[in-house]
Amino acid sequence: MKTIQVEMIDELKNQIKRLEDAYGAIDDARHDIRMAFADSHDTDRQLCERDFREPLKKILDCPRKGLDNLIKILETELSHIENKNENDLDTEKQNWEEKQVFHYGQ
């Protein structure tokens, strides 16, 4: 049972890491897009603004919010599993101590 919980914790940590990496890639892409607009000429900038920036902004904003929420969900789940593990260990320790008292008390 504990092996499964440890594996779940490790998998959640890996998922959080992958999401943070994806989040970083989105931020890098956003920066590259901004730099491309800044380097373009005025006419090109207006064309880029109309044809590319607004649709790209919508695409980038949406996954960003989604990634934030998913990371929060996974971190909450990880915290829940860690708390459950702690409680399980406390319960096992308490049961063991009760058995010792019962065993030596007889």
In the chain, count H helices and then E strands.
Answer: 3, 0
Q: Which residue has the tokens 């649709």?
A: 55
pLDDT in tens for each of the 106 residues of the chain? 578 778 888 888 888 888 888 878 777 777 777 777 666 666 566 666 666 666 666 666 666 666 677 777 778 877 877 787 788 888 888 888 887 776 665 5
Residue 69 CA to residue 11 CA, distance in Å, equals 18
Cα–chain center distance at 85: 20
Confirm whether pTM is higher than 0.85.
Answer: no
Domain ranges of the chain: 2-105
